[in-house]
Each structure stands twice: as C-alpha cells, then as structure tokens.
Amino acid sequence: MKQDREGSQGEDGNVRTGNSPADIKQSILDNLYFSQARIPQTATLNDWYMALAYAVRDRMLDNWLTSNIHRGRKDLKIVSYLSAEFLMGPHLGNNLMSLGIREQAQQAVTELGLDMDALLQQEAEPGLGSGGLGRLAACYLDSLATLQVPAIGYGVRYEFGIFDQEIRDGWQVEKTDKWLNLGNPWEICRPEIVFTVKGGGHTEHYYDEQGRFRVRWAPNRVIKGVAYDTPVAGYCAGMTDILRLWKSEAVESFDFQAFNVGDYYKAVDEKVISETISKVLYPNDEPFIGKQLRLAQQYFFVSCSLQDMIRIHFLRGNNSLENFHESFAVQLNDTHPSLAVAELMRLFVDEHLMDWDLAWRVTQSTLSYTNHTLLPEALEKWPLHLFASVLPRHLEIIYEINRRFLDEVRRKYPDDHQRAVRVSLIDEHCEKFVRMANLACVGCHAINGVAVLHTMLLKRTILRDFFELYPERFHNVTNGVTPRRWIALSNPELARLITDSIGEGWIKNLEKELHKLESFARDAAFQKDWQKVKQKNKEALAAVIRERTGIVVDPLSLFDVQVKRFHEYKRQHLNIFHVITLYNRIRNNPGIDIEPRTVIFGGKAAPGYFMAKLIIKLINSVAEVVNSDPVVKGRLKVVFFPDFNVTNGQMIYPAADLSEQISLAGKEASGTGNMKFSMNGALTIGTLDGANVEIRKEVGDENFFLFGLTTEEVENVKSCGCDPCNTYESNTHLKELIDEIAAGAFSRGDRNLFMPLLDALLHHDEYLVFADYQSYVDCQDQVSDAFRDRQRWTTMSILNTARMGKFSSDRSIREYCDRIWQAKAVTDRREKR
C-alpha cells in the first residue's frame, strides 16, 4: 500500500493540488489513506467517493483562501444571500466541471479501476430546500461566484432535508432524508465561528450610568449556532464563494447543575432541545404554516448570520457600524429571513448602542427583499402571542417601527384610516398577527418580484399599498437558472454540440453567445445531431423509468413532462384530465391515429396537503389503468417518476420534448423549471403566467404553445361568479372523464376515493381547471400535429434553446448587482496568499 500512496509525483510536482491525472490519482489515494483511513483493498464505494471528493475540495482551497482575502477588503461589498433554503444538488460533478478537471479526474478514476458514474451516484443530494425558491438560491450562488462577486449564502444546516418520496399503492409516502449519514466531505466545520442566540423570556427597561434608555433582554433559553462552510466555486473563475450554514447546539453540552443533583436525563434535555432547531426542513412551499419551531429556526439563522456579518465588518478594519451597508448588501429570500429587519435594529441599538434613527437608515440601506408568491395564503404572519413568547424584544422593536411608520402613513394620507389598517405591521382583524411581508417592505430599500408579470401583479394586488407609498423601492428581476448545472452538466451531449457549433463562450455568457445557434436551426446536418442528442437522453431516461417504476416507455414517443411541486394552482390535474381524454379517444375509436405520448409526472406534495396528495394518487391510478389496457397499444403511457429532486431533474429536463407550464394565470410567480426545459430544447405548452410570458416573447409566439385564460380573464371569470357545473354540463368530453373518475373507473370501482377532488372542482374550481380544459386540450392537439413533423419540431426546439440566453442566472445576478446591491465583481488581478 505504501507504494501505492507514494507512487509517482505528478507532472507539475504538486500532488496535493496539481491538476494532471497523475496528481489527481495520487491525491485520491492519499485522501483515501489519510482522511478515510482506508487502503484500496478494503475501501468501499463510499470511501472512494469521499477520497475523490476530498481531492477535489483540496483543489478548491487555493481560490477559496484568495477569495477570503477579497472578502476582507473594505472596498468590496459582500453580497449576503439570506435564505431558509439552498437546494444545491450534488456537488461532485459540478465542482469537477467548475474547476475544469473533469477529464483528468475521469482518467485518474479509470486508472484506479473505478467507475466515475458510480462515484457520482454515491453522493447523497443535499436537499436543503423544497422547491423553486431554494433552487433559485443555489443558482444565484453559482452565478455570484462565476461573476466573481464576493458573496456568502447564509442558511440552516438541516440535519434532515426535504423528505424522500416513495410511491406505495399510488400514494406518496414520506421517508426521512438522511443525507449526512455517510459523512459530508464538502463542508468545513468552523467551531470558532459560533454565536449565541436567545429565545423567550422578557425584557427589562432601565437607564444606564450615562442616563441612556436601555433595554435588556432576559431570555429563558440560549443556544449557539456553529458555522459550517461549503465552498461554491465559480465556473472557471478565480472566485470561490461560501455557503455558510448554521447548526444549532446547546451552549453547554450538559446542564451541570441538574447533573449534580442527580437528574442526568434533565441535564441532557437541554442539549436535545437546542439541537432540534436545525433538525429538519419544513417541507411546505406555498401555504404558510405557523409553527413555533419554524419561527425559532428563522430567528436562529438570521441572528447568527447578522452577528457574523458584524464580526466580518469589524475584521475588515471598520471601527463603527455606521457604514455597515457599505460592507454588506443583504438579500432576504422571501420573508423567511425578514426578522432581519428587527434583529439588525436590535443588534445596532441594544448591543452596539447606536441611535435609533441612524440604525434605521443603515438597516434600510443594507436590506432588500424578494417576494416569491402572489398567493395571499402563502404570506407569512405569526400569531402575536406566539411571536411575543419567542421574541419579546423583537416585538417591542416592531411596535416602535410600526408606530413611526404609521405616523408617516397618516401624515401622507390623513383621512385614510383603512389604509393604515392595511399596511400596519400588525394585523388586528380578530386574532392579532405580525405581518412579515409588511415588515420587509418597510425595512428594506428595495423590493422585487421575480418576473415581469409577477412584479406588475405585486404592485396591483398584495403589495399595492406599499407600491403607492414607496414606488421607487419596487424592481423586477426576472429569475434565471445557471447554464452550468442545467445545460453543461446535465446535458453534456447537447453542450458538446453547442460548443462545436458556436464555441464555448455560451457557458459563461449565455445572453451574448447562445443566439448564435439560431443560424443552425434549419441546417439539416445540425438538426440530425440535435435529434440524436435528444433521442439518447430519452433512451437514458426510459431506462431509469423502467428501473424505478417497472414501466416500459417508448423513447420514440413524445415525452410530455410536468415536474414541479404538487399544488392545485399548478394544475397537475388538468394534465391528467388531458391524459384521460386521450385514453377515451382511443377507447372510443381503437384504430385512431394519434401521436404516441409518454406523459411523465414528478414532484413532491407537502405532507399535510391532502388535495395535492390525492392528485398524485389520481395520476398513479390513471397510469395503472392506461398502461395495462391492451387497447392503447403503446400509444399512451403515464409515468409518475418518484422522488423528483435536483439529481433526477438533471436526467429529466434533457429528455423532455414538451414542458408543461400550465398554472392558472396570475398564480405562479415565475417558475424556473420552465427555463430549464426550454434551454434543453423542450417546447412549452403554457399559460400566460410567471416567466412563461417572457419565455414566449424571447422564443417567439410561433415556438410556444399558448392556451388558457389571461390574468384579466381570470379576474373576470372570478368576479362573474360563474358556476363550474355549467362548464362540466356543457362539455361532453370533460363530463365524460369526470363521470368516469366519479364512477370509480380509475379506483377499482371505489366511488369515494376521488370525491373530495371532484367536489372541489364542481363546486368551486378555485384554479379554473374546468374553464381552461378545452383550450388546453385543443392546444395539446396542436402539439401532437407539430410533433408529427419532426423537422419543424426540431427547428422549434433549436430556436427555443438558442433564444433562452436571457434566462441565465448570470443576467439576473448582474441586475441585482447593478440595481439593488451596488455590488461589484473582483476585477483586479488575483492576489496570492
């Protein structure tokens, strides 16, 4: 073994960080020996994965430490992205790519007799997020690092991330995600970067020796947050940013007083309770659930993060906090971290004795807020009594902010009492609540929506009063996704084809370069290559579908895909109704010539969201019937792909022909899956909702399948109080399929199973599934027609990819930097250690 380890020196002589295959190979062996304490003869696959991961991490450290020097520079603003979720996806493949050592590592691994794919699959996905908002945060970190902007992502190191989804008897079953079980080689624990966080108790008011009014918060518990850093390497950039996640721990492992009197169990209690705070991610995305632990979690990571920023601010040589906003631009990813408004005020005023007015100016200049939802029920508001019991001091601060704010509102609108009631930080309708979006709007200098339509609707609906008060604070920054993970990494064949045609500039400059593909859209040879890539991706997905679900699908059929969280507003049920419609057509006319389709669904439902889970059950029930009915003859298949996550997404997006973006207009803030599909050459069937509007504008109306009511039409339908029963009665195909479900055609005769869903549709149809049904089905027929003409389809597909440059997260981050953060990239030459 010793020989193995010492082996040959790499070409550039630096085994620890050199990039030659020989260096990397040696480094893997060294790490296997010194970090995993294993020799090759006894190493498990996981040992090898860990050894490779450490070898890669070693190569990231040089840039990381250099970047730390930049973060220490007073003249450079650091972007702090505060987010309760970071859905990073597996690191290994992405880091190999960012460092530009994929091929060398491949060679090293092969020489060691290992299989790179198996090693990549060994990595447990860090699922520290539940959907779009968390994944957006991850894309933004990638772009910040690639654009060389000094940044820190701050969040929670959940011990259990988003649950793993299994399907049993057609139902979703949640399994605990144990992503840390086999160790996490990417994080570095910083036991010395630790902060205490108080909770509960009461406040005491007093005057200090200098006669100043002061407030002391006497908490009834204190925990500490320990920093865990994960490096985020920019793509072929000198910058490595940091994801800093906080783990909660007991201040003392044992309560010695309790221990001494013999109550061993009570002594350990404290430790257990403290560690609960960062235990588990709340798996809901849209509807707000007011759980005390969640409030404690939010406060925990906000407080640790702000204390850390203040530490760094002083480390940079500042001696006052007056210019804190020149050190940090802090972005609040939705209202989950909006306690930052009150906490920063508390830290400034109570802990650092700053004058209130100055503290308020600095707080506002530092913070900005992104809204991610238009659903009123998703807006966070905490019951006042609960808030007071966890954060008594913050409630006082919020009252003071509110007093001053409402004075200002009343000065501006002296006779408009109702307006003051609406914008107040406290909802006093019956039970009292603290309104977190209002707190964010008042305490931030910038507020943004995540797509043009979304921002427009924010100004017109849920944030209208704030728009009228502070129009200058409102911005739109349309979301984007990173082309590194979502094209280069997940679709390597397509990436190669693009690079062969237009060079590799697109990877870092999607907006300027990708459109060059347009000139190949009608080129016969290029089209063939393009089709080949898609075909290969579809075959690969078909193999995985077979392995995971047992369902055999035809890779030549149209892959019609809807993957996203399950929610009624996203209308997965509309999609399955279309499937039933196709099925009925086949049964009514068995010889019918229809374009073969494979309809693929994927996504998780919040564990407590009954209706979403019932829709999953319906999809699986329809799948069971359709897939086994001989009359269908392979023309239609339905697949529920279990456990949709980043890893699976990387396989699914590249294999899609058709992207389903069918939310009710006015409900989806932006969507980002829509971008990933289109970049990978899928055509979209979609409503005028979220970023679909902008995608359609970019790719061209003729390359987008549009259907459904517009936001204005939705408002009209809603205000006319139309009865969904009328639509049901008057549309024979719709009536037929609803009656079939009701009769138990997909539930082995059980007429009760889907009743709650059908009742909701027939009596309220909140998300206008019935109203959009016919338009959707007609549009799907156009899709089928278009797909018959492969040449035309391929042209449309190429044009979709070619025109998606705008939706790179690099563009979004540039906009945030210029318009909101006033942050700059590190442009000067790299300083060496």
Task: Mark the segment that binds ligand NBG (CB under 6 A) among 35-43, 125-133, 183-191, 766-774.
Answer: 125-133
Give yes or no: 676 in active site.
yes
Identity at 174, one-letter amino acid code: E
Catalytic one of 71, 224, 435, 564: 564
| Tokens 């701050």, located at residue | 154
Are residues 12 and 18 in contact, defined by beta-carbon separation less than 8 angstroms? yes
Nearer to ligand NBG, 79 or 675 (CB): 675
Does the annotation mark 613 as catalytic?
A: no
DSSP labels for 78-118? EEEEE-S-EE---SHHHHHHHHT-HHHHHHHHHHTT--HHH
Stretch that binds ligand NBG, among 64-72, 175-183, 670-678, 712-720 (CB under 6 A): 670-678
Residue 322 vs residues 310, 325, 349, 356, 366: alpha-carbon distances, Å: 11, 8, 12, 12, 11
Number of residues that bind ligand NBG (CB under 6 A): 17
Pick between residue 224 and residue 336 the one whose CB is nearest to ligand NBG. 336
DSSP string, 171-230: EEEEE---TTTT--TT-EEEEEEEEEEEESSEEEEEE-TT--EEEEEE-SEEEEEEEEEE
Check residue 231 for interaction with ligand NBG (CB under 6 A). no
Catalytic annotation on 459? no
Q: Which helix (H) or strand (E) holds 8?
A: none
Interface residue with ligand NBG among 372, 485, 515, 637 (CB under 6 A) is: 372
Measure the CA–CA gap between 413 and 420, rounded to whole angstroms.
9
Q: Which is nearer to ligand NBG, 620 or 680 (CB)?
A: 680
The Cα-based distances of 585 to 493, 592, 685, 747, 753 in angstroms read 37, 8, 21, 20, 24
Of residues 373 through 412, those in contact with ligand NBG by CB under 6 A are 373
From 660, 668, 772, 810, residue interacting with ligand NBG (rule: CB under 6 A): 668
State which residue, 92 or 133, has the beta carbon closest to ligand NBG.
133
Residues 65, 832: Cα–Cα separation, whole Å: 9
Please provide residue 681's backbone torsions phi and psi, each rounded to the nearest 5 degrees.
85, 15
| From 313, 565, 604, 696, active-site residue | 565
Q: Which of 47, 334, 643, 660 binds ligand NBG (CB under 6 A)?
A: 334
Residues 472-501 that bind ligand NBG (CB under 6 A): 479
325 has catalytic annotation: no
Nearest CA-CA partner of 738 in 779, 774, 770:
770
Burial code (b: 16+ CB inside 10 Å, e: under 16) for 35-69 equals bbebebeebeebbbbbbbbbbbbbbbebbbebbee
Which of residues 71 and 570 has its CB atom nearest to ligand NBG in the complex?
570
Q: Looking at beta carbons only, is 54 or 474 nearer to ligand NBG?
A: 474
Selecting among 394, 570, 571, 637, the annotated active-site residue is: 570
What is the contact mask toward ligand NBG in residues 676 to 695, using x (rule: CB under 6 A)? Answer: --------------x-----
Q: Which is nearer to ligand NBG, 59 or 667 (CB)?
A: 667
- CA 173 to CA 163: how far, in whole Å? 9
Catalytic residue list contains 564: yes
Spell out, one character per residue from 283 to 302, where the chain touches ligand NBG: x when CB under 6 A holds, - when not: --xx----------------
Which residue's CB is nearer to ligand NBG, number 131 or number 443? 131
CB of 522 to ligand NBG, least distance (A): 33
Query: Which tokens go with 344?
Result: 């920063």
Q: How far is CA 383 from CA 117, 276, 325, 348, 683, in A?
A: 49, 22, 31, 26, 45
The answer to the question of residue 672 lying near ligand NBG (CB under 6 A) is yes
Rounded to whole angstroms, the Cα distance separating 306 from 473 reads 23
Question: Starting at the edge strand that comes first in sequence, how are the strands of the sheet with 188-199 ordered?
Answer: 188-199, 221-233, 240-250, 151-156, 78-82, 328-333, 367-370, 446-449, 474-476
Distance between CA atoms of 640 and 637, rounded to whole angstroms? 10
Q: Which of 363, 455, 478, 672 is catalytic?
A: 672
> How many CB atoms are located within 10 Å of the residue 203 CB?
16
Q: Which stretch, 274-282, 347-355, 626-634, 668-676, contacts ligand NBG (CB under 6 A)? A: 668-676
Q: Does 331 bind ligand NBG (CB under 6 A)?
A: no
* Contacts within 8 Å (CB) and 24+ apart, 721-724: 722/771, 724/761, 724/762, 724/763, 724/764, 724/765, 724/770, 724/771
Among the listed residues 366, 415, 456, the one whose alpha carbon sits nearest the alpha carbon of residue 666: 456
Window of 50-58, 587-595, 663-671, 718-726 that interacts with ligand NBG by CB under 6 A? 663-671
Task: Name which of 250 and 451 has its Cβ closer to ligand NBG.
Answer: 451
Using CB under 6 A, which of 671, 681, 686, 708 touches ligand NBG?
Answer: 671
Distance of CA 332 to the CA centre of its chain: 14
Smallest gap from residue 16 Cβ to ligand NBG (A): 39
Q: Which residue is nearest to ligand NBG (CB)?
A: 132
Given the complex with ligand NBG, which of 450 and 612 has the nearer CB atom? 450
Annotation says 565 is catalytic: yes
Which one, 138 or 741, has the nearer CB to ligand NBG?
Answer: 138
Question: Of 440, 435, 296, which is closest to residue 376 (Cα–Cα)?
Answer: 435
Q: Which helix (H) or strand (E) holds 238?
A: none
- Quick one: which segment of 128-136, 164-172, 306-314, 510-518 binds ligand NBG (CB under 6 A)? 128-136
Per annotation, catalytic residue among 38, 57, 135, 372: 372
- Pick the piece of the chain touching ligand NBG (CB under 6 A) from 31-39, 469-477, 514-522, 664-672: 664-672
Residue of 645, 670, 795, 801 that binds ligand NBG (CB under 6 A)? 670
Minimum Å distance from CB 670 to ligand NBG? 4
Block residue for tokens 């050592």: 101
Q: Give me the least distance between CB of 374 and ligand NBG, in Å please.
A: 9
Token output for 758: 């059908």
Contact mark string toward ligand NBG, 80..99, x via CB under 6 A: --------------------
Q: How far is the CB of 283 from ligand NBG (least distance, A)?
A: 12
Cβ atoms of 357 and 262 within 8 Å: the answer is: no
Residues 822 and 568: their CA atoms lie apart, in Å, by 39
Q: Which is nearer to ligand NBG, 183 or 607 (CB)?
A: 607
Q: Which stretch binds ligand NBG (CB under 6 A): 43-51, 126-134, 592-600, 604-612?
A: 126-134
Provide the minimum distance between the beta carbon of 604 and ligand NBG in the complex, in angstroms, as a whole number: 13
Chain positions 130 to 159 lying near ligand NBG, rule: CB under 6 A, are 131-133, 136
- The nearer residue to ligand NBG, 312 or 804, going by C-beta atoms, is 804
Q: Give the strand pairing for 78-82 and 328-333.
A: parallel
Task: Please give the sequence-ordered ranges of beta strands (E in DSSP) within 377-459, or none if there are none.
Answer: 381-383, 426-427, 433-435, 446-449
* Choice among 459, 676, 803, 814 that is catalytic: 676
> From CA 538, how far away is CA 541, in angstroms rounded?
5
Block residue for tokens 């229809």 = 594
The answer to whether residue 450 forms part of the interface with ligand NBG (CB under 6 A) is: yes
Residue ranges that bind ligand NBG, judged by CB under 6 A: 131-133, 136, 285-286, 334, 372-373, 450, 479, 668-672, 690
Q: Which residues are catalytic?
A: 372, 564-565, 570, 672, 676
